[in-house]
Each structure stands twice: as C-alpha cells, then as structure tokens.
Amino acid sequence: MRNIPFNKPYNFGKEMDYIKNVIAGGKTSGDGEYTSKCQSILEHQLDAHNILMTTSCTHALELALQLIPLQEGDEVIMPSYTFPSTANSVLLQKGCVVFTEVNHDDLCIDVNRIQEKITEKTKVIMVVHYGGNACDMDAIMAIARKYDLYVIEDAAQGFLSTYGRQALGTIGHFGCYSFHETKNISAGEGGALAINTLNPDVVKRAEYIRQKGTNRKDYCLGNVEFYQWVDVGSSYCPSEILMAYLYAQLEQIEEIHEKRVTIFNHYQKLLEKIDSNKIMYYATGNSFGGFNAHIFYMIFNKPSYAIYFMERLKEKGIAAYTHFIPLHVSKMGQSLGYHVDDFPYERDLYKKLVRLPLYPSMTEDVLQQVMMAISEVLKELDHREDIPDDINRYSCI
C-alpha cells in the first residue's frame, strides 16, 4: 500500500535552471533580477500597487506592524483561531493582542463580534483568510473607517483568492502572503508584503526596515553615493536563490491552481453524496469570490469522530491532520491571561477539524484511493455510537 502524504511541493518547472542562473551570475544576495521578476508577477497578478518580497509571511506581518507604527499598549483585534505569527508580530511591537471569534462555517473572523472588542486603545484589526476563504472585507473596512483603525490581512492562506474582484491582501492597509512549503505557491520559506496605501513615505520606510534600516535601495538606484543607517530596521530581504525558485513556481500558477481546485471539487461532491450525520460542516469554497482551494476541511460533531476518522485513514496509509491549536488555548495565550473557556467554539474546533490531503501532483488514482477510504471510514463511523470522547491523541502540523 502506498503512503499518501498530506502535502507535496509541486516543482516540475524550471526551479533548477533558474537557481543555476543565479549561481552562475554570482549575485546570490537579495534584490536582484529574480526578486524583481517575482515582484512584477505579483503586482500584475494581484493588481497591487506595491509588493515587497520578504523572507516569510511572518516577516511581512512584522514589517506591517512596524509601519503602522504600533505604540506600547495599543490593542490589535484578531481571531484566536490563527497561526502564532499573527499574534507574535503584535507582541514584538509591545502591542496587546485581543482575541475574537470566527464564523462557525468559513472560520474567518466573525464581523459581528468585532465592535464589542473595540476600546480607546484599539489601533488595528488583523483578519486571517482561513483556508483561502475571504473574510467579509466590506463589513470589516466599514468598521475600520468608523473607528479609524488599520486593517492588516494575514493572507498567508489567501494568495489567489479574491473578495469580489479584488485579490485578498490588497483590500486592507497591508496584506501579507506566505510562500512556505505548505502553501499553494511555495519556495520552502518566503513571503511578500502588499502595501496598499499610496503614501510614498510608507513605502520608503518599508524599504529601509526591510534592508537593515539602510537606504540601500536608494544607493542601488544610483540616487545616493553611499548607503547608510537611516532607520530602525531588520533583514527581511530574501536571497536571489530563493526568488529564482519562487519565480519558477509563480510561472506555474495556473496549473497549480487548476489542479488544486479539481481535487477540492471532487472532495466536495463526494461529501455532498455521503451526507453523514457525524459531520457538522465541510469546506464549500470562498463565498465572496474566486477561490484558491488552499484547504479542504471537515468539521465533525465530536472530537472522537475526528480522531477515529484520522486514525483509520492513517491505517490506510493516508495522512490527514487537524489544524491550529487556538492561540487563547495555547501556552502563550494562557500566559497573556486568556482562559481555555473564553471561546468555546474555537477551543473545540481543532479537535473536531480534519484537513484532507491536497496537492497538485496528486494523481487520479491516488485521489480515487483517498475518496474510497473516506467513504469507507465515514460508513464505519455512521454505524458506531460508542466512541468515547476522552481520547487524547491529536496529530497536528
């Protein structure tokens, strides 16, 4: 029996050729030809004013928070159901993280619970486009305008999904993308920041911070004779080797996208047919626009059903995983003063949610094998009422 992974990077393109070009050219540090090519593709694809390539989405988030800039004690509202990077970026600027709820179906920020969390100190709303589902950006931008807040989009999972005609990540003040191995377009590690304001000072500062607090960019453009220390900064500029790899990936956007969507649609049709009474919800795609098919998830009625399902798939050689331990439940969230029971839906979500294997190189054969296994296990599950709810084995990535 073949082992079927959860995710597999897709690289049947020109990755090696481009990397060899970089090495042969001798310029392996950042901001060379491939960085600029990636930037252009992204600006075109997303219809974005200003894209800066970064070493990760985590770094793009950190850069965005520095650009606002956040003052000590400023409050940032974000869902508890997200990846730690969303919250770390705030704590690194000495801001306060204020967690909020997500919708029970698309797992995006619940817009009806935002206003009650706004105080005098609130400065930013951070939204997370979960699994490629768009948050309700019109409602969020309206709240932001009413209370004069910034909006940062954590679009790590939202690359190539849209809200209406607008690309996710280009609607709030800043948008952050990830090209981590597990994302739709991957470079191992990597990311990008969309700066959606037209204020040239913000763009300039972003360039300084990204390049170790120096005006290296001005120097490279021939505008100044020397480059020097001009601001507090860090090093968020990816190497050309990484950008060469990413460029090859970006050239395959259409192919990767189509393959993911096809698999997603098969899963969705299968679950429509099965109609199991053990499943509370399964992914149906982005209700606000184009969809990148980043994750296919199922939410079971009880944790024990999800565990049984994952364990049985594993026995059949198929990897399936749950997702984020909500930040308010995690060790760090607890140390910020949150209680496990603060958000009961989110508290239990990660125990009930299962993500299915989804990667572009999945063959028709493998897909059929996975779908067969899903049908079998769900049938078994429907005939069982006796699964204890105290099993404590969760596979998590």
Ligand X SMILES: *Cc1c(COP(=O)(O)O)cnc(C)c1O
Ranges within 315-334 binding ligand X (CB under 6 A): none
Out of 50, 80, 89, 157, the only residue in the binding site for ligand X (CB under 6 A) is 157
C-beta closer to ligand X: residue 9 or 317? 9
- Judged by CB under 6 A, does residue 153 bind ligand X? no
Residue whose tokens read 């995983």: 321
- Exactly one of 87, 137, 152, 156 binds ligand X (CB under 6 A); that residue is 156
* Closer of 184 and 211 to ligand X (Cβ): 184
Q: Which is nearer to ligand X, 5 or 188 (CB)?
A: 188
Tell me the site size for ligand X, rule CB under 6 A: 14
Q: Are strands 297-300 and 353-355 parallel, antiparallel or unpaired?
A: antiparallel
**Structure tokens, 379:** 């049938």
Position 370 contacts ligand X (CB under 6 A):
no
Residue from 31, 62, 75, 154 binding ligand X (CB under 6 A): 154
**Nearest partner of 76 among 119, 43, 31, judged by Cα:** 119
Cβ atoms within 10 Å of 100's Cβ, excluding its own: 22
Calpha distance 107→102 (Å, rounded): 5
Measured from the CB of residue 54, what is the shortest distance to ligand X in angstroms?
8
Residue 280, both tokens = 């509370």
Min dist CB 229 to ligand X, Å, is: 26
Question: Which of positions 111-150 make contact with ligand X (CB under 6 A)?
Answer: 128
| Number of Cα atoms under 13 Å in the Cβ half of residue 121 | 13
DSSP 85-146: HHHHHHHTTT-EEEEE-B-TTT-SB-GGGTGGG--TTEEEEEEE-GGGPPP-HHHHHHHHHH
Instruction: Determine the Cα–Cα distance for residues 97 and 332; give it in Å rounded to an integer.
Output: 11
Give least dist CB 282 to ligand X, A. 20
249 binds ligand X (CB under 6 A): no
Choose which of 35, 50, 178, 196 interacts with ligand X (CB under 6 A). Answer: 178
Confirm or reject binding of residue 293 to ligand X (CB under 6 A): no
Name the residue nearer to ligand X (CB basis): 19 or 242.
242
> In whole angstroms, how close is the CB of 360 to ligand X at the nearest point?
18
Question: Is residue 191 a contact point for ligand X (CB under 6 A)?
Answer: yes
Out of 50, 66, 80, 86, name the contact with ligand X by CB under 6 A.
Answer: 86
Whole-number minimum distance, CB 238 to ligand X, in Å? 11
Measured from the CB atom, the residue of 59 and 278 that comes closer to ligand X is: 59
Q: Please state the closest distance from residue 83 (CB atom) to ligand X, in A.
A: 4
Distances (CA, A) of 258 to 261, 282, 386: 5, 20, 41
| Continuous segment of H or E residues that includes residue 41 | helix 33-46
Q: What string of DSSP letters covers 244-299?
A: HHHHHHHTTHHHHHHHHHHHHHHHHHHHHHH--TTEEEE----TTB-------EEE
Query: For residues 162 and 214, which CB has a smaller minimum distance to ligand X in the complex?
Result: 162
Q: Is 83 in the site for ligand X (CB under 6 A)?
A: yes
Closest approach, Cβ 109 to ligand X, in A, equals 12
Write down the least CB distance from residue 175 to ligand X, Å: 12
In angstroms, the CA 370 to CA 375 distance is 9
Q: Which stretch binds ligand X (CB under 6 A): 21-29, 63-71, 82-90, 236-244?
A: 82-90
Residue 85 sits in the site that holds ligand X (CB under 6 A): yes
Characterize 43-64 residue by residue with b for buried, 16 or more Cβ atoms within 10 angstroms of its Cβ, and e for exposed.
Answer: beebebebbbbbbbbbbbbbbb
Is residue 249 within 8 A of residue 186, CB to CB? The reply is yes
**Counting contacts by CB under 6 A, is residue 57 touching ligand X?**
yes
Q: Does 32 bind ligand X (CB under 6 A)?
A: no
Site of interaction with ligand X (CB under 6 A):
56-58, 82-83, 85-86, 128, 154, 156-157, 178, 180, 191
